Chains A and B, each alone.
Chain A
Amino acid sequence: MSSQDAREQILSRLGAHKPGPPPTVAPHLAWSAPVLAPAERTASLVKRMEAMRAEIRRTPEKKWKEALAQLLTDKGPATLAYGPGAWFAKDLKTLLAKSNTEAKPYAEDAEHFRDTLFGTAASITSVQAGIAETGALVLIPGPGEPRLLSLVPPVHIAVLRASDIVSTLAEALETLSSGTTMASNVVLVTGPSKTADIELTLAFGVHGPKEVVVLLLE
């Protein structure tokens, strides 16, 4: 049977039955996440993400280049992939030219860059927003910063401005859908990849990054 026939059959079976009107929740039972004052948001995000084993490095916004240089010295990755469209891309290039880390700009299609990326030690991406309630980074990959950057290399450095931290997931989703179309991919990240599939023993770094370092500009 074709997909079109199946579609008609399924919809006609569903249409034959008229469920009641949509239920409503009594006002005293309606849930929404508590909204945090701006001052509490950063602290909440830091606390929650650290609990998820993300490393947070806080720095005053105007000293971010020094902080990033220090971070790269500390981690010492041989190679660092980045998206040429990131707001910090130009400064990063200058910075890397003076370091021992080789720059790997993700500037061509995955079909050509994929093998390079799978061999790259670390990556750096910008972050669209932070979510205080759950401790999460909102990444919106696109032409300037492709999807695989934050997934494939073992170390992911994420650059977040504290002023971009919103209170709740609901708030973040509202901004995402306010435009006419959603981005092709939106990913929320709370820390390094993990699993507890063997005896519920928590282990970090399964298929995604083993380390997530957030450079938090305040």
Chain B
Amino acid sequence: MHNDPHFDFTASLEKALADPQLGENFKNAMTGLRGKRLAIFPDADELAKLRATGKAVKARALSKLPELLVRLEANCVKNGIRVHWAQTGEEANAMILDILRAHGATRLVKGKSMASEETGLNHYLEKHDVEALETDLGEFIIQLDGETPSHIIVPAVHKNKKQVAETFHRHLPGAPYTEDVQELNAMARKTLREKFRTAHAGLSGVNFAVAETGTLVLVENEGNGRMCTHVPPVHIALMGIDKVVENLSDLPPLLRLLTGSATGQLMTTYLNCITSPRREGEKDGPKEVHLVLLDNGRTRLFADPQLSAGLRCIRCGACMNNCPVYVRVGGHAYGSVYPGPIGSVLTPQFEGIDAKGDLAGASSLCGACEEVCPVLIPLAEHLRRIRAEGQGCPDTCHVRGCGSKRTLAETLAWKAWAFLESNPWLRERLLRLAGLLGDRIPAVGPLKAWTSARTTPKLAPKSLRQLVREEGIRHE
């Protein structure tokens, strides 16, 4: 669904911009989220400390990633958690299906997991006759409509309550049409409680995995994550290999940054720390816990000295909420699992610049994303790097599909520019000629596109260099 090779970003953006309701929904929601984040971090010095500490904790974990993964695995196994490794989304999906089949499980309840969006798990399981039911309220809403998340934290943020009301009325048996948010929540609660009680297995993501103790840490507000990981007899946790941290003591600054940046909360309703399946004498909890460690392109990022900083991301969504492009077009326009600034950096690396390199163009490089990133990822720098790789940069080329955005016209234009700049005589003549044209430059080709939203440049009759030569410099 996401790996559409014919994805047309420009058309997708135009479609989003033409939908005033969508723009309104995003504007309202993102303004709200930005305000909440600001309110929870009132002290600039404190926030600077938190971010520096958060960055250092994640960077330390990455600096010893292979060691920590091995340690996490050893401690999980010691605790009775079964650990699996998957290089690709397909491998992860197949492993998950194997686990489910071993238990004859055909009904899976899912807590929120962006990694499972990456692997396209729901679609895969449905093809193999397993019902994979999303239980996070936002995910539940969009699954009913066959949509994908438009935001990594608030997946149904593109819909207003009228649209949710219609969705429930259409898809939930016997549901009356109501725009009362409390009643809509009650309907979801009633429907999903029955599913939690009768599910054969539960799947969740992982926010942080602690290597020192072999503990999986999940952050949530609704309680659906606890339902998925506590009620069914089997729990499968799916995590990207970038989620491992070294020690329990690494958690407090990261949790504060995550919940504060994502939803403006000091702490979520629940912090669920899972260290083992049901132990001897315990009366509940899953009898089996499986952890699937997913690479899916992360080792490739890891090898790049600059872009590996992207692996620090704790998936808070603040870069999206603050991005002037994302706020106007919404998440679906990006046609990717991860939208917004971090998505525009990660997606071209995961799926190739040839397929998704255009995403890096959807930024004014204003740097708002960097200003809020809790782990100080230099997003604008990364966006520029992806753009440059699209053109092909001989020394540092690393990302899959690099150079694929280079066109003959552009190559020729740069060649001509380089030639002009190294021939002062010719440059001078051409500049004079251009000066004579003034504002009579014909708006054709790329200039026409460029001037569609900008004022046409007007060339001065004389160049600055010429003026200086004639009049000298006045020191005023």
Does B227 belong to the interface (CB within 8 Å)?
yes
Given contacts A113-B283, A187-B273, A189-B270, contact A174 B181 (CB under 8 A): no
List, in ascending order, chain A residues with CB within 8 A of B269's CB: 52, 189-194, 208
A48 vs B266: C-alpha distance in the bound complex, in angstroms? 9
Nearest opposing residue in chain A for B184, CB measure: A198
Interface flag for B303 (CB, 8 Å): yes
For B98, the closest partner residue in chain A by CB is: A3
Partner of A207, one of B84, B135, B277, B283: B135
A201 pairs with B270, CB closer than 8 A? no
Are B284 and A198 in contact, CB atoms less than 8 angstroms apart?
A: no
Contact B185 A198 (CB under 8 A): yes
List the A side residues contacting B87 at CB < 8 Å: 1, 6, 9-10
The answer to whether B285 and A184 have CB atoms under 8 Å apart is yes
**Is A143 within 8 A of B281, CB to CB?**
yes
Whether A23 pairs with B56 at a CB distance below 8 angstroms is yes
With both beta carbons as reference points, the residue of chain B lying nearest to A169 in the complex is identified as B252
Knowing A191-B269, A198-B137, A207-B196 are in contact, say whether A22-B63 is a contact too (CB < 8 A): yes
Q: Which of A28-36, A65-73, A122-130, A157-165 contacts B (4 or more CB under 8 A)?
A: A28-36
Check if A23 sits within 8 Å of B197, measured CB to CB: no
| A87 adjacent to chain B (CB < 8 Å) | no
**Cβ contact within 8 Å between A203 and B63:** no
CA distance A170 to B53 in the complex (A): 14
A196 and B154 contact, CB distance less than 8 A: yes
Q: Which residues of B contact A110 (CB under 8 A)?
A: 231, 283-285
Task: Establish whether residues B224 and A206, one from each chain, have CB atoms under 8 Å apart when the complex forms.
Answer: yes
Cα of A150 to Cα of B399 in the assembled complex, Å: 48
| B contact residues around A208 at 8 Å (CB) | 222-223, 226-227, 269-270
Distance in Å: Cβ of A49 to nearest Cβ of chain B: 10
Q: Which residue, of A15, A21, A186, has the highest number of chain B Cβ atoms within 10 A?
A: A186
In chain B, residues 229-287, which have Cβ atoms closer than 8 Å to a Cβ of chain A?
230-231, 241, 248-249, 251-253, 255-256, 263, 266-279, 281-285
Kindly supply a per-residue 1/0 record for chain B positions 89-125, scoring 1 wherever the CB is within 8 Å of any chain A CB and 0 otherwise.
0010001000000000000000000000000000000
> B273–A205 contact, CB under 8 A?
no
Pairwise interchain contact B267-A187, C-beta atoms closer than 8 A: no
B59, A23: Cβ atoms closer than 8 Å: yes
- Nearest-Cβ distance from residue A82 to partner chain B, whole angstroms: 13
Known contacts being A7-B85, A169-B251, A187-B273, is A23 close to B303, with CB within 8 Å?
no
The answer to whether B222 touches A207 (Cβ under 8 A) is yes
Interface residue A56 (Cβ < 8 Å from any Cβ of B): no
A206 touches which of B32, B164, B222, B281 (Cβ 8 Å): B222
Instruction: Decide if B60 is an interface residue (CB 8 Å cutoff).
Output: yes
B272–A185 contact, CB under 8 A? Answer: yes
Cα distance A209–B269 in the bound complex, in angstroms: 11
Please tell me if the beta carbons of B53 and A25 are within 8 angstroms of each other in the complex: yes
Q: Complex Cα distance A114/B199, Å? A: 12
Residues of A within 8 A of B270 (CB): 187-190, 193, 208
Instruction: Compute how far the CA of A61 lies from the CA of B304 in the bound complex, rounded to whole angstroms.
Output: 59
Residues of chain B within 8 A (CB-CB) of A32 are 252
Question: Could you tell me the distance in whole angstroms from the C-beta of A206 to the nearest C-beta in chain B?
Answer: 4
Which segment, of B65-73, B324-332, B385-393, B412-420, faces chain A? B65-73
Known A25-B53, A185-B273; judge A193-B222 contact (CB<8 A): yes
CB proximity of B7 to chain A, nearest CB, Å: 27
- Assess whether B303 is in contact with A17, with CB atoms less than 8 Å apart: yes
B64 at the interface (CB under 8 A from A): yes
Q: Say which residue of A10, A20, A29, A185 sits within 8 Å of B48 (CB atoms).
A: A29
Cα(A190)–Cα(B224), bound, Å: 15
Is the CB–CB distance between A170 and B249 below 8 Å? yes
> Measured between alpha carbons, how far is A181 from B210 in the docked complex, in Å?
13
Q: Is the CB of A14 within 8 A of B66?
A: yes
Q: Which of B146-194 contact A (CB under 8 A)?
A: 154-157, 159-161, 164, 181-182, 184-185, 188-189, 192-193
Cross-chain contact of A11 among B66, B159, B189, B300 (Cβ < 8 A):
B66
Q: Is the CB of A142 within 8 A of B282?
A: yes
Q: B221, A193: Cβ atoms under 8 Å?
A: yes
B60 to A, closest residue via Cβ: A22
Measured CB to CB, the closest approach of chain A to B390, in angstroms, equals 23
| Known pairs A10-B85, A185-B230; A200 contacts B33 (CB<8 A) | yes
- A46: shortest Cβ distance to chain B, in Å? 14
Q: List 16 A-B contacts (CB under 8 A).
A: A10-B85, A14-B66, A143-B282, A146-B285, A173-B251, A184-B279, A191-B269, A193-B270, A195-B138, A197-B157, A198-B185, A206-B224, A207-B192, A207-B222, A207-B223, A207-B227
Q: A6-B85, A6-B295, A17-B302 are in contact. List 12 more A-B contacts (CB 8 A).
A: A10-B85, A20-B63, A148-B231, A184-B276, A185-B273, A187-B270, A188-B270, A198-B164, A198-B185, A203-B185, A206-B221, A208-B270
Residues of A within 8 A of B (CB): 1, 3-4, 6-7, 9-11, 13-17, 19-26, 29-33, 48, 52, 106-110, 113-115, 118, 134-136, 141-143, 146-148, 151, 168-170, 173-174, 176-177, 181-201, 203, 205-209
